[in-house]
Homo-oligomer: A and B are copies of this chain.
């Protein structure tokens, strides 16, 4: 069983898969990169360098992609959607900077994290700055609903992270609670990117709602995928420290399924390993154990969510350019397939 594709470059999504999905909005994605790079100039000269560093490590730009493709599916991509794409990515980067403090992560996107390079104090403040700047940018639309939805998504992301932090090493975490946490910490911003893209096109309420639900479900599926990669992926391929979840006591879907499905004796051994854990050996042992049934079951759950996301697109008018969003959902499905074959 090849647990994870080894050819995916520096991000969890193979560049080739993303390039295909991004093709219809490539010029706007390039514009997003340019505008992201320009944001550092909004800060004090003494701070610019840190902002450039945090924003410069190119991630997958999945949230910008969602904003642009949702714009295309709800009436057309405008300059407003490029701005929205910049804003959601800034919020995402701000939360990553803070997550890396909490996880004591040393590498992110194949370069040292902000906390590894300049310490926690600067990281706390830099995340705050990026966050405040994103919310400042969100007020340019002169539509309070846009800023409100973005601020609420940001609050949900942080609330989800708090819940996750609270439930570390909680072997009684219910799968429903896990799902609620990832809906908040990840899916909320996906849903927001899709929803606001439609709002910016003055799309009718059913289109706004359908795109929001598309984003929420795709975001949940994506987080399950990401959690599986942390357990079963290859560090050199992914370009970030893996196995972090278990070491930090974050119980993700495959582990929760393992705990529920394993025979009593094995289950007890696993619990003990999790609670006394921290070593790479323990993570490996759990990765091996979870790579079989529990991993496949997690992948199935994520596939169901991708299907639900696609079903939302059927609510869009026949004239809508929904094809690129379908392709994006398909590429997440492909990634899931590569995890389980």
Contacts and interface: CB of A to CB of B under 8 A. Distances in A.
A341 B95 CA distance: 48
Contact of A128 (B44, B121, B131, B136): B131
A141 B144 contact: yes
Interface in A74-131: 95, 98, 101-102, 120-122, 124-129, 131
Q: Chain A contact residues: over half helix, strand or loop, or mixed?
A: helix
Nearest to A136: B151
Contacts of A140: 144, 148
A161 B131 contact: no
A262 interface: no
Interface residues of A, number: 45
A166 interface: yes
B144 A139 contact: yes
Nearest to A98: B124
B132 A151 contact: yes
Contact of A162 (B50, B144, B158): B50
A129 B127 CA distance: 13
A148 B139 contact: yes
A145 to B, nearest CB: 8
Interface of A: 43-44, 46-47, 50, 95, 98, 101-102, 120-122, 124-129, 131-133, 135-136, 138-145, 147-148, 151-152, 154-155, 158-159, 161-163, 165-166, 184
28 contacts: A43-B159, A44-B162, A44-B163, A46-B163, A47-B162, A50-B162, A101-B120, A101-B124, A102-B120, A102-B121, A102-B124, A125-B161, A125-B165, A127-B128, A128-B128, A128-B154, A128-B161, A129-B162, A131-B132, A132-B158, A133-B151, A135-B135, A136-B155, A138-B151, A139-B144, A139-B147, A140-B144, A143-B144
Given A44-B159, A140-B148, A143-B144, 20 more contacts: A43-B155, A101-B121, A122-B165, A124-B124, A124-B127, A125-B158, A125-B162, A128-B154, A129-B159, A129-B162, A132-B152, A132-B155, A135-B135, A135-B154, A136-B152, A138-B147, A138-B151, A139-B147, A139-B151, A142-B144
